[in-house]
A = this chain, B = another copy of it.
Amino acid sequence: MLSERQGTILNIVKEHSPITGQHIADQLHVTRAALRSDLAILTMLGLIDARPKLGYFFIGDKEKDLLSQKIMDISIESCLSQPVIVGEHTSAYDAVIAMFTEDAGTVFVATDNILAGVVSRKDLLKTAMGNNDLRALPVRMVMTPVSKVIYVQADEKALAAAQRMIEYEIDCLPVVHVLDTDEEDKKDLQIVGRISKTNITRLFVECGLGRRT
């Protein structure tokens, strides 16, 4: 987005802050007047700033930090979707139906809203390819059991959810509250919602259009 000369000026300011307009002009072997519009654009973009009697300062890195800080502040709760849930005794066939009816790529399996497992389009396609009778097959036999499910907690940030989806190559995570149980070492995962790459893509669009503050 910057012209070559604007890039050069930015690098000069970066190395020599504070530096006067005249000194920048000297380095580029042009007149001060020739630089006026480039300096105005760089200032307007917030990449450099002018202080009276001192000259131009580089402030590009601060901008970068602000971008990442804005993204880091987005909570999962501000962007999650409603979960699509089927019971543990549902057939794989009915799980596919729920998936198409709700147009979700991932369905959660639960009893009383406590997560038992997760089943994805990929799991079901693999099963369907294996010549199984999906009507006779309980979804439990196809799902990833809760002990192996990657999830996020409701008070985490959207960035953590996005990182986890990339790291584990998953399209969708259950958003949960972790509850203590009577048994030691056993936690229940109470389903609060789901967050998918679709939610993250929507956030990216909102940030890009300036609709998230």
Contact = CB atoms under 8 A, between A and B. Distances in A.
A66 B202 CA distance: 19
- The oligomer's copy count stands at 2
Contacts of A208: 68, 71-72, 159, 162
A65 B65 CA distance: 14
A156 B162 CA distance: 24
B67 A210 contact: yes
Contacts of A204: 71, 159, 162, 200-201, 203-204
A46 B62 contact: yes
A115 B96 CA distance: 29
Contact of A46 (B59, B128, B198): B59
A202 B46 contact: no
A125 interface: yes
Nearest to A44: B62
Given A64-B70, A204-B204, 8 more contacts: A45-B69, A49-B49, A52-B52, A63-B70, A129-B134, A162-B204, A166-B201, A166-B205
Interface of A: 1, 45-46, 49, 52, 59, 62-73, 93, 96, 100, 103, 105, 121-122, 124-126, 128-129, 134, 159, 162-163, 165-166, 169, 171, 196-198, 200-205, 207-210, 213
